[in-house]
Chains A and B, each alone.
Chain A
């Protein structure tokens, strides 16, 4: 699908996919940072269930899944997936800005390789049934 023929709503949904993917991971980390040191697995799960941020993450995850399925209804997986992989870069930038996570050359290089790998895999020829793959 050529970029010039993209309908506005699809551009919006692709942007939304990147935003939701990024938000899920940043909020997930924030939620984990707020968990008390519970000690046991059951206590950790119980503490997580009481943490509203985890509920928000779950809601955003479901929204992300629904939005992604809508994107796949009218675009090729091979076209859309590399675009939404931009969330790798968004998470990297936002985690550095708002969570104070480390920024170094090796990490940037690693993310670059993973991004390129996703791009190569997504550009592979595929049949129509692959469009139904669930990958928010």
Chain B
């Protein structure tokens, strides 16, 4: 586990980990010193109700202004090097205000980087560069977004699916991906050069307070019964990216295991339509038993998500089902545009239940009836995929339950 955002602020910098943050005094290089009294609750920033309460995705220094990003909204804050500053009038605003091209950042971004006259925004494997000037939105430079892997030259698997945070630091920049980080020497533009010896483990270097930037991790593999076309790959990448971004805010880092194309396996061909029976936890069907035995590469506690064409229950089709045989944790999903379908199912696997139920003839008075538009429909465990203010949320109690799952492990 690492951090979800970092903010350059002159001689100070700020790191955000879920609902807490620290302030660090430092120069261009080195870990600096965590200021006394930190970590502090993120609530101290005094942001508008509902914004960043449980964490933010990204922060961007821009001189006397700072920007903070939470899902598909952001705020602009006027502040000095220290202190929380004042949220400018009219914020939060929708992230679509930035008018990024091609769906970039539609549901949020992972990181933002100040770079003098330029700024960089990161969304999964893509990034874009803008030329700053006046009030946002700033001008997106020609040719963006581009793919991180095509340009930045980061080592190994670092940032393969995106990064969690970026920090401007004078002649250096720092990029954070899970529990590792790299330091890069660069100018205002271009990828620069990764300094020798990087990547490194965050906690070997940064001397953050006990427990800060430390959480649990789960590893998720994807196995597809559909041929691994560009569309299916995109589905998997998107589901993974949104789940990782959501869970990271709440102290759970999702690692990508691998993708396996099972479509050529004749023994599994009829599982394109998987019989999930009643889809109740602890009641796997015979088909669950066979399909979920396909765990090549996954450890006993790793989670495997099977992508099928359709899930057929006893009387109906399902979009996802977290039922799995004992000792073979995982879930099955079908292709949908619901960005947090896998997060919902993995939430079930890690112990979460629906936040509410819709009444029906057979269940006219559920104990917690669903109210569309309430905090229930903002929660990833809302029973429908019509989350009202995406990206959805996770409550503190739910995060604690997931962290306590035997399937999540210390990072």
- The answer to whether A and B assemble together is no
Question: Chain B: residues with CB nearer than 8 A to chain A?
Answer: none
